[in-house]
């Protein structure tokens, strides 16, 4: 049974950590099960966070390779998944990918050699992490790609995450409405080539294509990093180009952009994605104009459920999208209550 309230309180404390080390499992893995039957994979579904935990029919051992456990989204995902596994009696072996493709590939090899029953991972790089899926398929191990996609995601046993194009569309539509359909826009992007960066920027550009009086005048990556985002926006402001709004690919960078603007005494509309605690507080204070909620809890819960369905040899959804939601001053308290 879910213990979501307790989990949320735990996450609030976890938020204060600047970084988190890998929680590498030490228990011996069970014999690997056969990979999921592709005939059990059915149509795409959108999920929510109200689904009950799928029961495990055996004492499975699963591996989880995180993108980077110094990032809040990964920390929250870890808390939910580890809680789910503990409740179900599942052995969870965890790896911190440290935002490095080679590290993730080596961790995949270690997991496979340990004989895990299934492997879940949040890829750092869309192309670089693709061999994780290939290697698991070759080993006959079900593999679930989470949160971000790889270039060969269709070859994964399942995908659980969000449609990042939707997030880019959502934040850009809000900004366009706020500036009355015209103005100069700066975009702070994620790491170039990262699947979320590619998809979120596609969403941004889809919306802006419909507004000829809006133009992207400044655009660069800050690599999901707050300090890099602050420095980037500081340089933009020093350059003298008029900026009417700033769209950021995640909240960490939005907070860096906000700091740069506040240091100059400027009030520029800024929006981010993820709904981290400090970003929600900024929305409530009115310093961030809005935020887009990426349901990390829903993604982690559904990743666990899909994994159990596969290992139980039950019917499962191959592609599972957890929808984004717009957060403004009007509904921010609802999301802050999670913390």
Query: Does residue 47 belong to any structural domain of this protein?
Result: yes
CATH number at residue 113: 3.40.50.2300
- For residue 55, give Cα distances in angstroms to 88, 237, 309: 7, 54, 9
Q: Both 121 and 260 in a single domain?
A: no
Q: Both 245 and 179 in a single domain?
A: yes
DSSP state of 184: E
- Give the total number of structural domains in the chain: 2
Q: Both 206 and 224 in a single domain?
A: yes
**How many CB atoms are located within 10 Å of the residue 132 CB?**
26
Q: Both 76 and 204 in a single domain?
A: no
Q: Both 24 and 122 in a single domain?
A: yes
Give buried/exposed letters for 30-65 (b at 16+ CB in 10 A, else e): bebbebbeeebbeeeeebebeeeebebeeebbbbbb
Query: Does residue 333 belong to any structural domain of this protein?
Result: no
Query: Does residue 94 belong to any structural domain of this protein?
Result: yes
Q: How confident is the model at residue 51, as a pLDDT?
A: 56
Q: Both 227 and 205 in a single domain?
A: yes
Which helix H or strand E contains 93, and what residues bound it? Answer: strand 91-96
Q: Which residues of the chain have pLDDT under 70?
A: 1-51
**Domain with 309 in it:** 4-161+295-323
Query: Does residue 31 belong to any structural domain of this protein?
Result: yes
Query: Does residue 59 belong to any structural domain of this protein?
Result: yes
- Of 204, 196, 336, which Cα lies nearest the Cα of 276? 336
Q: pTM for the full model? A: 0.71
């Amino acid at each position: 049974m879910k213990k979501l309230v307790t989990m949320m309180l735990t996450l609030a404390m976890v938020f204060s950590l600047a970084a988190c080390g890998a929680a590498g499992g030490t228990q011996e893995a069970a014999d690997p099960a056969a990979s999921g039957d592709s005939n059990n994979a059915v149509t795409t579904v959108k999920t929510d966070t109200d689904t009950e935990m799928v029961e495990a029919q055996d004492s499975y051992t699963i591996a989880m390779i995180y993108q980077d456990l110094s990032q809040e989204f990964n920390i929250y995902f870890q808390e939910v998944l580890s809680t789910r596994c503990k409740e179900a009696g599942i052995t969870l072996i965890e790896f911190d990918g440290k935002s490095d493709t080679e590290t993730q590939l080596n961790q995949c090899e270690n997991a496979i050699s340990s004989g895990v029953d299934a492997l879940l991972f949040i890829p750092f790089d869309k192309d670089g992490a693709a061999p994780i899926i290939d290697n698991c398929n070759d080993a006959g191990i079900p593999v679930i790609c989470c949160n971000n996609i790889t270039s060969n995601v269709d070859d994964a046993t399942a995908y659980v995450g969000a449609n990042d194009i939707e997030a880019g569309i959502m934040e850009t539509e809000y900004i366009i409405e706020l500036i009355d359909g015209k103005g100069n826009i700066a975009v702070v992007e994620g790491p170039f080539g990262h699947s979320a960066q590619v998809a979120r920027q596609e969403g941004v550009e889809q919306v802006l294509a419909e507004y000829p009086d809006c133009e992207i005048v400044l655009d660069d990556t800050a690599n999901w990093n707050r300090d890099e985002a602050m420095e980037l926006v500081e340089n933009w402001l020093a350059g003298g180009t008029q900026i009417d709004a700033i769209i950021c690919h995640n909240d960490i960078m939005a907070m860096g952009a906000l700091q740069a603007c506040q240091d100059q005494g400027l009030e520029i509309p800024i929006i981010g994605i993820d709904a981290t605690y400090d970003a929600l507080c900024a929305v409530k204070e009115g310093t961030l104009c809005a935020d887009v909620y990426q349901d990390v809890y829903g993604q982690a819960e559904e990743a666990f459920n899909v994994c159990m369905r596969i290992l139980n040899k039950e019917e499962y959804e191959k592609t599972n999208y957890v929808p984004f939601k717009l957060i403004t001053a009007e509904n921010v308290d609802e999301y802050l209550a999670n913390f």
